[in-house]
Amino acid sequence: MSPLPFMAAQKIRDFHFGSAPPSHKLLHCGNSPTEARANGCVYSLVDVRWVPGQCYDKKMDDEFNSLPWHYFADKNGTREITQELAKQGDTEFWVTMEYHITHCEFTMRQLRRRYLEAARRSPQEVVASNTYMTEEEHFEHCVEYMNPRKIIEADLIVTFSKMDFGTCQVPL
């Protein structure tokens, strides 16, 4: 068995839990869309938050945005807003359960890509990482939502996407 998976897991663990000497810095988007833009952040509909530019996954965001999503100004779904307006990152909105579950699937795919990227690098190198992807609470929440035994009404408007501002760990 190749040592690469172990080395990648070790790098990710050290990176996020501080076992290794600091080899990264934390980028912040601030607390408002104006600050986020000034800090070089990009609003991501797949991440449902402002993300520092170095951790923005344009390819994944574009793929997610190509799906036929609907965004609503209200929980009853009576006032739809455009994807263009939602993508600007200045408006909070409601989305369906299907959107929420697909967001979780894409998050898992992003995490896997970061893991594979880390596995290809030397142990001293650090991979830029969107920190919310590895937050235990978010990870467990997504695992629960993706449970195939759970009966879910895909079109039910259940998730309020509040204004959120991410962080990103990048190499020094």
Among 19-28, 99-108, 141-150, where is mean pLDDT lowest? 19-28
Q: Name the 3-class secondary structure at 170.
A: strand
Among 21-35, 55-69, 118-132, where is mean pLDDT lowest? 118-132
Return the residue matching tokens 């797949």. Answer: 46
C-alpha distances out from residue 21 to 11, 55, 118, Å: 11, 21, 17
Confidence of residue 169 (pLDDT cuts 50, 70, 90): confident
Q: Alpha helices, DSSP H only, in the chain?
A: 4-17, 33-38, 58-65, 83-87, 97-119, 136-145
Return the residue matching tokens 């068995």. Answer: 1
Structure confidence at residue 160 (pLDDT): 94
Among 20-24, 59-63, 168-172, where is mean pLDDT lowest? 20-24
Give bridge partners of residue 72 from the DSSP assignment: 80, 94
- Strand 71-72, strand 80-81: pairing: antiparallel
More reliable by pLDDT, 6 or 117: 117
> Is pLDDT of 12 > 60?
no
Structure confidence at residue 79 (pLDDT): 97
- Model-level pTM? 0.79
Sign of the torsion angle spanned by Cα atoms 16, 19, 23, 25: positive
Q: Which amino acid is at 156?
A: L
pLDDT tens-digit series, residues 107-156: 889 888 887 887 787 766 656 777 767 778 888 888 888 887 777 788 99
Give bridge partners of residue 93 from the DSSP assignment: 161
Q: What is the dihedral of CA 85, 68, 64, 140, to 10 degrees?
A: 100
Structure confidence at residue 7 (pLDDT): 46
Q: Tell me the longest C-alpha to C-alpha distance in the chain.
A: 55
Tokens read off for 143? 């695992």
